[in-house]
Amino acid sequence: MVINGLINAPFVEHGGNNMHADFMKDVGLCEFLGAEQILHDMTGTSKKDVIEELVELLIKKKLIKNKSETLKRILEREELMSTGLGDSVAIPHARLEVGEKPIIAMGRHSLGLDFDSPDKKPVHLIMLVLWA
């Protein structure tokens, strides 16, 4: 299932812009996603609302500083193509100066939202990813 793959699959971390194998290592998702970065009962009624909820969570946890720039970048990316993957999962994301490691927030929406997913099913799991 997609959710198990997201939680258990390694991210690839690299040094600088050099993607040479000597600089790569597998890193587990748990290194980037703590319990305090998860919203269990999201209340937004639109794609923009839930993205804003996750950004606000990262602001409160002092993991990012600029809410308006972060939202702008994520929504610009979302306009290019929906990040709804199907199987009730969406991964909105953007490149932003956030340091060396990605910043992640995850939320669960019990009712589900339209995220323009290819399978047209409502999204219940939203994983926001920011990286430099």
* CA atoms of 112 and 102, how far apart (whole Å): 26
Predicted confidence at residue 118, as pLDDT, reads 95
> Residues 40-69: pLDDT tens digits?
999 999 999 999 999 999 999 999 999 999
As a whole number, mean pLDDT of residues 36-41 equals 95
Predicted confidence at residue 27, as pLDDT, reads 66
User: Residue 50's CB: how many other CB atoms inside 10 A?
Assistant: 23
- How does DSSP classify residue 42? -
